């Protein structure tokens, strides 16, 4: 604590008062349990201090944290950076990359020990990112998706929220690899990642879970612009959320219209995907159950001719047939 001095406040009001009275370089705001007041908390901190504001987020809160540190050009950022908990105090006091954690002012007279420590911390954070990110597409990897989904399901059990899992892969992907080479196959995967991100909502989490297989976790965003929580009061036992189906339809259409110039002048046909949708709690109560049901729906879509996304447990359930 002597090397990384900090004050810890037991509640939000004490923290805002301390921020106004003290001289701090960085102020950390624990997101867990504060979502209903987070907007007003951040506004109050902005008014009371010039210190950098860093959100301390759980993995399932990362989409919200990312949005809060990315401001529109017309408005001020609500926070300057975020870090994923648990974290070491040294992480909070050193300098990770932009938007990925706190950035403190440089220390001109840093000695050799401080320089070595900062470099070690930078490398540790780099390895942490590699452990959760797919290096080819930049999407989250299988490990992250499963951990995130587990946290979101735990939250949904207590709030009546809804979670829908989409699992999809690229039809005949092996053919593209064999005919055009692995470099072209990799480019197709990167383009698929860009397209699915573009079609999804900001808080939905997209990952590559292996080979040409991808997953999207759709969930009820507990934080709305304006700083208020608006829980979706619709029954969690209802049909598959229309938002997830709408996103899946849009992605399927855009992917089918993708430019095939990367396949060369002889490139013919269209790129298509097949997938399966499974929802909590209707189709499963755990991450494993949702993946199992979504995978079964994907296989059913493949057997019925590909280029389709199926819902779980319903014959003739291609989402293209849903109005």
DSSP 189-243: HHHHHHHHHHHS-TTSEEEEEETTEEEEEEE--S-BTTTB-----S-TTSSS-HH
Which superfamily does 142-321 belong to?
Reverse transcriptase/Diguanylate cyclase domain (3.30.70.270)
Instruction: Give me the pLDDT at residue 297, please.
Output: 92
Parts of the chain belonging to CATH 3.30.70.270 = 142-321
Q: How far apart are CA 42 and CA 289, in angstroms?
A: 38
Parts of the chain belonging to CATH 3.40.50 = 12-132
Beta-strand ranges (E) seen in 15-171 are 26-30, 52-57, 81-84, 163-170
Instruction: Give me the pLDDT at residue 289, please.
Output: 96
pTM for this predicted structure? 0.69
Instruction: Give me the pLDDT at residue 186, please.
Output: 92
Q: What is 12-132's CATH topology?
A: Rossmann fold (3.40.50)
Catalytic residue, chosen from 169, 204, 212, 300, is 212
Does the annotation mark 259 as catalytic?
no
Contact 124, 96 (CB under 8 A): no
Instruction: Give me the pLDDT at residue 107, please.
Output: 39
Tokens of 127: 């390895």
User: b/e per residue, 281-302, with b = 16+ CB within 10 A?
Assistant: bbbbeebebbbebbbbbbebbb
Instruction: Give me the pLDDT at residue 98, please.
Output: 39
Question: Residue 116: CB partners within 8 Å, gap ≥ 6?
Answer: none
Q: Kind and range of the H or E element at 275?
A: strand 273-280
pLDDT one digit per residue (tens) for the chain, 323 residues: 445 567 888 777 888 888 888 778 888 888 876 776 788 888 888 888 888 888 888 887 888 888 888 766 656 678 888 888 765 555 555 544 434 443 333 334 455 555 555 665 565 555 566 578 999 999 999 999 999 999 999 988 888 888 999 999 999 899 888 888 888 889 899 989 999 999 998 889 999 999 999 999 999 876 553 334 344 434 333 445 688 888 988 998 888 887 666 665 555 556 889 999 999 998 999 999 999 999 999 999 998 888 888 887 655 567 777 65
Q: How far apart are CA 204 and CA 223, in angstroms?
A: 13
Cα-trace Rg, the chain = 22
Instruction: Give me the pLDDT at residue 78, please.
Output: 83
């Amino acid at each position: 604590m002597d090397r990384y001095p900090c004050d810890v406040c037991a509640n939000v009001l004490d923290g805002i008062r301390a921020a106004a009275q003290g001289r701090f370089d960085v102020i950390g705001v624990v997101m867990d349990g504060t979502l209903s007041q987070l907007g007003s908390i951040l506004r109050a901190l902005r008014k009371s201090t010039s210190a950098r504001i860093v959100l301390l987020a759980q993995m399932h809160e990362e989409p919200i944290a990312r949005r809060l540190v990315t401001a529109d050009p017309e408005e001020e950022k609500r926070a300057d950076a975020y870090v994923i908990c648990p974290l070491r105090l040294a992480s909070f006091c050193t300098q990770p990359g932009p938007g990925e954690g706190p950035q403190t002012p440089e220390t001109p007279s840093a000695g050799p020990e401080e320089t070595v420590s900062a470099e070690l911390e930078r490398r540790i954070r780099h390895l942490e990112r590699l452990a959760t990110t797919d290096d080819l597409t930049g999407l989250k990897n299988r490990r992250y998706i499963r951990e995130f989904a587990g946290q979101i399901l735990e939250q949904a059990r207590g709030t009546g929220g809804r979670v829908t899992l989409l699992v999809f892969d690229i039809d005949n992907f092996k053919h593209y690899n064999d005919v055009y080479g692995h470099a072209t196959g990799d480019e197709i995967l990167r383009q698929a990642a860009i397209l699915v991100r573009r079609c999804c909502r900001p808080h939905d989490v997209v990952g590559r879970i292996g080979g040409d297989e991808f997953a999207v976790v759709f969930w009820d965003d507990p934080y709305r612009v304006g700083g208020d929580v608006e829980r979706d009061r619709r029954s969690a036992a209802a049909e598959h959320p229309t938002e997830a189906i709408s996103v899946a339809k849009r992605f399927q259409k855009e992917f089918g219209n993708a430019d095939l110039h990367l396949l060369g002048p002889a490139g013919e046909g269209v790129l298509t995907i097949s997938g399966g949708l499974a929802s909590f709690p209707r189709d499963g109560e755990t991450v494993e159950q949702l993946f199992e049901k979504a995978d079964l729906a994907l296989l059913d879509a493949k057997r019925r001719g590909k280029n389709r996304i199926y819902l779980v447990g319903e014959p003739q359930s291609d989402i293209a047939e849903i109005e």
